[in-house]
């Protein structure tokens, strides 16, 4: 009898200890909501056991891991926020006031735009990707775009909790609602054997990954999330949740943030201490053209330029205004355009530059023309920051207006009325208080559809630049 009682007592003690451990495991992540204790490090994505494991270092370096450009400088890793805590952006305050918690605080949704998950497991066996991503374009020519997206099946994301209410995102945030639908919950998740990742991580699914404008919205969104949670670039890692092949903008990600890896680089199961489902690119504050200005927009500019060690403080010199023409040229950007044919090219580039040099000498500065997307990002930024007036046909390259010096100008050339209705770059100019003018072509004979070219009348550009100069420098005596 005594022996039986001892056995029962021992079993009860074991059950109590096990319950206590499970309770601790479940409650600890929720109690650690502070985002200011991440460790900064040198660009190596780590887990508790060391480097994040991959099947092959060669594959990891070539396909899975995003690498900075060979000539890029070491990024500056600021240890401070890009805004004062005394002046929190109103959008941040709205997100905070709208926060909804579920799963004992392990999932917090903000403004139906993004969410923070704590102690979440990513199980790649249930995150289906037909491709690894990062392949050279030549290896995947004409592949269907659908294979470049990863499907989140039930269990792709897993949270340890018993009481869970699904969180709903805005209708436009389609993949976030899909991820929410894949979320598996339960107490047993706490006991899953998974690689622990302590670093603050932002998950991004890209759509138009080689388009500068749309990729800028992804970079900006990740920056906003980073700042909202009080993190620095050195504390912020990016997890790319797609399988797009290599794109020319890929090297920018690890230049801006601590480390960037693809979903295919993860072990079969990884437990992230803090994982953010980022704002969707199409829902970015940069897409709300009627807003006075997206939050921390100038701070984003400073963050971006400093990451490439480019001076963000240059001012316009009215005595010596320089002009930079951005020319569109044929080039292969993604698998579905193997010919590289590009529309909206200027058909009389040389004549335009020569006309400006001869007929607008009062500008006083250099007049240059360049296919800017053919250059490394650091060289692109240096060119733009050193220019006072940016000129180009409507296209993603005009997104560089974000980086023009204060007091600069943008001249947008629209091939026809359809493109003149697009407000992307006019909005950027408005937010940055740049001088802005648009010329719209109304002569169909100026456009050659088979060649994808537009002939721009030199007199139009000359007159526009003279007007722009007067608006930029109204106090200049020679104007």
Q: For the segment 44-68, what is each residue's pLDDT rounded down to a tens digit?
A: 444 433 335 444 434 443 447 798 8
Distance CA 364, CA 342 (A): 33
- Backbone φ and ψ for 199, nearest 5 degrees, come out as -70, 145
pLDDT for position 94: 96
Q: What are phi and psi of 23, to 5 degrees?
A: -60, -40
Which run of H or of E encompasses 266? none
Q: How far apart are CA 458 and CA 345, in angstroms?
A: 15
Closest CA to 181 of 169, 194, 166, 195: 166
Give the pLDDT of residue 367.
97
The secondary structure element, H or E, covering residue 316 is none
Q: Which of 266, 122, 115, 107 is nearest to 176 (CA)?
A: 115
The pLDDT of residue 49 is: 33
Alpha carbon distances (Å) from 174 to 34, 182, 287, 426, 427: 29, 13, 16, 28, 25
Q: What is the pTM of this model?
A: 0.87
Which fold, 313-472?
Answer: Rossmann fold (3.40.50)
Q: How far apart (Å, rounded) are the C-alpha atoms in residues 466 and 126?
A: 60
If you write DSSP's letter for every residue of 133-202 in order, what string do you get?
A: S---GGGSTT--GGGGS-EE-TTSEEE--SS-------TT-HHHHHHHHHEEE-GGGGG---EEE-SEEE
Q: Domain boundaries in the chain?
A: 27-303, 313-472
**Which alpha helices (H) appear in 239-348, and where do they start and end?**
252-256, 297-307
Positive or negative torsion for Cα 261, 262, 265, 266: positive
CA 163 remoteness from chain centre: 33
Digits of tens for pLDDT over the chain (479 positions)? 444 445 545 554 544 444 443 443 333 333 333 333 333 333 344 443 333 544 443 444 344 779 888 888 888 766 567 877 778 999 999 999 999 999 999 999 999 999 999 999 999 999 999 999 999 999 999 999 999 999 999 999 999 998 999 999 998 788 999 999 999 999 999 999 999 999 999 999 999 999 999 999 999 999 999 999 999 999 999 999 999 999 999 999 999 999 999 999 999 999 999 999 999 999 999 988 877 899 999 999 999 999 999 999 999 999 999 999 999 999 899 999 999 999 999 999 999 999 999 999 999 999 999 999 999 999 999 999 999 999 999 999 999 999 999 999 999 999 987 777 789 999 999 999 999 999 999 999 999 999 999 999 999 999 999 999 999 999 774 54
Write out pLDDT tens, residues 252-274: 999 999 999 999 999 999 999 99
């Amino acid at each position: 009898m005594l022996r039986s009682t001892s056995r029962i007592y021992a079993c009860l003690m074991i059950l109590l200890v096990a319950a206590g451990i499970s309770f601790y495991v479940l409650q600890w992540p929720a109690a650690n909501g502070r985002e200011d204790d991440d460790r900064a490090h040198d660009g190596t994505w780590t887990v508790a056991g060391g480097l994040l494991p991959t099947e092959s270092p060669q594959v990891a370096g070539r396909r899975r891991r995003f690498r900075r450009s060979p000539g890029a400088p070491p990024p500056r890793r600021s240890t401070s926020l890009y805004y004062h805590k005394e002046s929190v952006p109103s959008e941040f305050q709205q997100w905070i006031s709208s926060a909804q918690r579920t799963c004992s605080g392990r999932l917090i949704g903000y403004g139906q735009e993004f969410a923070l998950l704590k102690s979440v497991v990513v199980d790649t066996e249930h995150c289906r990707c037909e491709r690894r991503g990062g392949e050279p374009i030549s290896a995947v020519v004409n592949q269907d775009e659908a294979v470049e997206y990863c499907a989140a099946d039930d269990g792709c994301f897993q949270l340890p909790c018993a009481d869970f209410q699904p969180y709903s995102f805005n209708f436009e945030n389609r993949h976030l609602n899909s991820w929410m639908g894949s979320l598996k919950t339960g107490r047993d998740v706490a006991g899953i054997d998974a690689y622990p990742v302590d670093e603050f991580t932002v998950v991004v699914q890209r759509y138009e990954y080689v388009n500068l404008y749309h990729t800028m919205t992804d970079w900006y969104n990740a920056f906003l999330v980073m700042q909202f949670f009080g993190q620095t670039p050195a504390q912020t890692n990016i997890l790319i949740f797609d399988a797009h092949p290599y794109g020319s903008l890929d090297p920018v990600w690890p230049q801006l943030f601590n480390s960037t890896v693809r979903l295919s680089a993860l072990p079969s199961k990884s437990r992230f201490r803090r994982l953010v489902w980022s704002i969707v690119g199409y829902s970015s504050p940069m897409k709300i053209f009627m807003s006075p200005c997206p939050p921390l927009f100038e701070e984003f500019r400073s963050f971006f330029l400093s990451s490439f060690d480019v001076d963000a403080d240059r001012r316009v010199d009215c005595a010596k205004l320089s002009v930079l023409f951005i020319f569109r040229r044929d080039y292969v950007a993604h698998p579905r355009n193997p010919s590289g044919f590009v529309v909206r090219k200027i058909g009389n580039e040389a004549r335009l530059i020569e006309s400006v040099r001869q007929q607008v000498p009062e500008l006083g500065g250099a007049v240059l023309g360049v296919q800017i997307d053919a250059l490394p990002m650091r060289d692109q930024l240096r060119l733009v920051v050193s220019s006072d007036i940016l000129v180009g046909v409507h296209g993603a390259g005009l997104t560089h207006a974000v980086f023009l010096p204060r007091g600069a100008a943008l001249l947008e050339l629209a091939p026809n009325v359809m493109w003149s209705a697009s407000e992307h770059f006019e909005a950027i100019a408005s937010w940055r208080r740049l001088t802005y003018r648009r010329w719209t072509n109304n002569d169909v004979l100026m456009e050659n559809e088979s060649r994808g070219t537009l002939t721009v009348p030199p007199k139009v550009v000359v007159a526009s630049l003279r007007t722009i100069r007067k608006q930029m420098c109204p106090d200049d005596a020679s104007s």
